Chains A and B, each alone.
Chain A
Amino acid sequence: MREFDYRRADDVSGAVALLDADPDARYLGGGTNLVDLMKNGVERPARLVDVRALPLDRIEPADGGGLRIGATVTNSDLAAHPGIRRNYPALTEAVLAGASGQLRNMATVGGNLLQRTRCGYFTDVTKPCNKRAPGSGCPAVEGEHRNHAVLGASDHCVAVHPSDMGVALTAFDAVVSYETADGPGELPLADFYLPVGDTPHRETALPPGALITHVTLPPAPVAARSRYRKVRERASYAFAIGSVAAALDVSGGVVREARLALGAVASRPWRAHAAERVLNGAPATAEYFAAAADAELAAARPLPDNGYKVTLMRNLVVAVLSELAEEAAR
């Protein structure tokens, strides 16, 4: 393997300075994805700036309510946090549905949002991939794409974002805070991931050299009644082939507020706005839940071998919303 420089940062400004917007440098969180990518040659950073020791490992009340999650909080600590469990249970469920206990002990919140797709063309340097090697092509469209995107993809890339956590954060309108050499900034998660278009290698709207410092969950009473369901090809330790984060506030049999995000269907966690529009104010029945799913999935453009995802997502949305509605009615 290629030699690289390793630095441990003590404070945020120091970390940003160490990276110095060098395109060949990378921040190192838990390393649960980056180190794998370095091993198989997808990433060849000249420098790693280890941010694990930064004072970003707290979950605190946010100004104006909600929770402010430090970027180096581990998945395990996030899932176990009482405030998350009580007020945003789908987030805990999403985190616990991912990876393994060992990985969750290492993986960080910031790193989770920046993890790369597990598309088998992306992770294999002997094969073309527009995301890894821009302009080299995307073999997935003609080749293997059973677990590729049905929403928001382009001819240039049909890879899916692998995060579970991100799906719940997207449903809850999380906001990403970052630091750069030019000062701090914020990006709503809705604007954090860039459309695929013809630049699948450009994944986020973060400025060059930016370090994620926090993820803020705004107050969302609806999130207290939320759920995450993940379907995968084995019972544990596999990425989703479809997942749903949903929150539902039902009163008198009518949906007052719904939040819905879908996982493993697009290049980013997919907020189901079209479905939410159908749900809000609608009777909390399976019929309307299905109509909501259909409204969202009308935009689906499945490939020959991933059309099952449309059926799967429709069924999952109906099942999860029905469960939440039943619990609300009790």
Chain B
Amino acid sequence: MTTATTGATTTGAVGTAHTRVEGRDKVTGAARYAGEIPFADLAHGWLVLSTVARGRILSVDTGPVLGMPGVLTVLHHGNAPRLDIDYIGMLGVPPDPTAAVFQNDRVPYAGWPVALVVAETSEQAREAAERLVVTYEQEPHDVALSGDRPDAYAADGHMPAVTEKGDLEAGFAACAHVVDAEYTTPEEHHGMMEPHAATALWDGGRLEVVDSNQGTTWVADELARMFSLDPSAVRVRSDHVGGGFGSKGVRVHQVSAVMAATELQRPVRVVLTRRQMFTLTGYRSPTVQRVRLGAGPDGRLRALEHRSLNQTSTVWEFVEPSAGVARSLYDADAHRTENKVVRLDVPSPAWMRAPGEAPGSFALECALDELAEKCGVDPVELRLRNDPERGPVSGLPFGSRNLAACFREGARRFGWAGRDPRPGVRRDGRWLLGTGTAAASFPASAMPSTAAVTAEPDGTFTVRISAADIGTGARTALTLVAADALRVPTDRVRVHIGDSDFGPAMIAGGSAGTRSWAWAVTAAAEELRERLVPGGTVPPEGLTVRSDTTAAIAALTQKERLSYGAQFAEVAVDVTTGEVRVRRMLGIFAAGRIVNPLTARGQLVGGMTWGISMALHEEAVRDRVSGGLYGADLAGYHVATHADVPTVEADWVDDPDPDDPVGIKGIGEVGIVGAAAAVANAVWHATGVRHRDLPIRPDRVLRAGGTGV
């Protein structure tokens, strides 16, 4: 028995920079990732992917492979267990058949999983997988996305497909200035450092999966449904995660590992290669977007239309809702938005950092810049003039909308005042210089979560929550939140995450992880603090309080809640070589209370850096001939290097959310939103040429020309 020592002082950990609590473990290698945790008697699975883009599997010639050294089994559609895929998962969607594998002989795209070879070693499994002969009946494929596909259809996804109000055509007819342009963004990939990796094993009648994912209860729940298991019979752990960005959900690696572990009754690990990840773990669909903006002489919007088309696979519908960004950023009397999809013989797209907002803001914020040019209004001023009072489509009040403050602070710090609006007139040697800006927004939400906080007899506290730290610093943020709620120093708080046995909780997604978890941790910690009588005692087993935020979150009043930001970029363009270099970027955000300035800055700068990458580099190239990808590795798929990322600064204005117990909104995704548009707008300012297709590659710049050619 020890004395409880919660005092009455506020430590003020939230808002103070704190290095990652697991930082030392990570840099010394003590932190183990899913693919490197040792297990006795471990077998290794290697996936075989289809080489045709459409057709049927005629045969899987397992015989010769089963005779190879170390090979234990080959799973495929002819012998794999049947899965239940007729359910709606935690995220409100049915499972992607790309994950629910080996259920039939259809091949819906190149790189579809057709078999899993399991062997004693990873090398044996790989060699056998490469030798496995699969024959196909090949059918012609269709992988060409274009804006005029007659088979495109409006699709809801996680928001209504279409919103409209007012008379659009009459609205445009009455406008002094109209912008009407098509913008395209390419297929983009998550490209996280750590590959997907899972080990599945049966232990005392329970299925254990050691994985790298963005939500252990999410994955556990879906595996239980697929394999028709009692939810309590599945435990998923995911301690450290080397990046996720939306791709680390339920995927083929876990499902096939469970199948093999069940058949062999021994632990089986499946790790994806970089090339495999390009077809098995989702991606951001390419988009074709049409934006029409109509404004009066003063630049105030009177008519707005934003249409988006993305591709999805023939087996799963995923909507990249790029037109959604216009539903909350700008109002007009006539206002219409529409998200469409077309089904092609391609892998299923998925959530990728700021789904919808990232490509949508590129189109919309470039169109705003074009409108500013037409109206002769400064781009920052144009956005200030079009800052709505209420949600343009929802009609709801905003939770807090400090976008104007972001633009004012950003313009001041970037040195925007006095900017010459003329394009193509600034030069530094061979480089043309320009600056650009764009708005950023991303929904701020909280989802029900549970947490447990235990007062230990030694005066420390243990937090258990099935949160996921995918590199965001969530583990550290929750430590700070718990310390403040308990009113103890951070070194008396231990946070355990990444274990589905800790109970249901929000995934690391939707920029809502830290907020949702912090709410649950705060609720449990505050109740625990009340229960601990000063000078009282803690029993030997500790004193635990559990929380569930379902009711509290359901009681939130309906408001339009978002994080905001203002992006600024300066670029240099050599139109004789096509090279574009970002010289500096500044992002000012209004994104709720910032829990840990150190990791928050990393999140925002990381998003902006990805925006540079999106603007200039990232593009997966689909090969017309094979229907598969061309150069599907990190040599062929370019992301920004250090040399592409000079001074990138992120900061924020005071913007605590009054309806959140900690004041958090969410910062995970808003950093990438608008960043590519700011760069593209700066390229126009430098060269006088509008680049409406991403990425702004040298060949495109060369073809388009510009001032000075």
Contacts and interface: CB of A to CB of B under 8 A. Distances in A.
A6 interface: no
Interface in B657-709: 697-699, 702-703
A144 B623 contact: yes
Given A143-B625, A144-B630, A308-B699, A234 B638 contact: yes
A231 B641 contact: no
Interface stretch (A60-68, A116-124, A193-201): A116-124
A159 B630 CA distance: 14
The binding surface of chain A is classed by DSSP as loop
B630 A121 contact: yes
Nearest to B700: A308
A130 to B, nearest CB: 14
Given A127-B628, A139-B625, A144-B621, A236 B641 contact: yes
B617 A233 contact: yes
A40 B275 contact: yes
A234 B640 contact: yes
Interface stretch (B313-321, B572-580, B603-611): B572-580
Interface residues of A, number: 34
Nearest to B123: A1
B623 A236 contact: no
B160 interface: no
B702 A238 contact: no
A206 B9 CA distance: 79
A325 interface: no
B623 A235 contact: no
Interface string B630-668: 111101101011111000000000000000000000000
A312 B123 contact: no
Interface in A241-266: 241-242
A1 B129 CA distance: 10
Interface in A22-41: 40-41
A237 B702 contact: no
A319 interface: yes
A264 to B, nearest CB: 12
A2 B129 CA distance: 11
B624 interface: yes
A325 to B, nearest CB: 15
Contacts of B703: 308
Given A1-B127, A233-B638, A236-B643, A142 B699 contact: no
Contacts of B626: 126-127, 139, 143
Given A308-B703, A312-B702, A2 B642 contact: no
Given A127-B628, A241-B698, A315 B127 contact: no
B575 to A, nearest CB: 9
Interface string A291-328: 00000000000000110100110011001000000000
A229 to B, nearest CB: 8
B74 interface: no
Contacts of B430: 319
Interface string B299-336: 00000000000000000000000000000000000000
A231 B577 contact: yes
B296 to A, nearest CB: 41
A193 B450 CA distance: 66
A163 B275 CA distance: 24
A8 interface: no
B644 A308 contact: no
Q: Which of B126, B624, B630, B632 has the most CB of A within 10 A?
A: B630
B699 A126 contact: no
Contact of B630 (A120, A232, A234, A312): A120
Contacts of B702: 308, 311-312, 315
A146 interface: yes
Interface in A150-205: none
Contact of B127 (A2, A233, A237): A2
A26 to B, nearest CB: 18
A126 B624 CA distance: 15
B616 interface: yes
4 nearest A-B pairs in the assembled complex, by CB-CB distance: A120-B631, A236-B643, A235-B643, A308-B699
Interface of B: 51, 110, 123, 126-127, 130, 275, 430, 576-579, 581, 616-617, 621, 623-626, 628, 630-633, 635-636, 638, 640-644, 697-699, 702-703
16 contacts: A1-B126, A118-B635, A120-B623, A120-B630, A120-B631, A120-B632, A124-B628, A126-B51, A126-B110, A126-B628, A142-B625, A143-B630, A146-B699, A235-B641, A238-B641, A315-B576
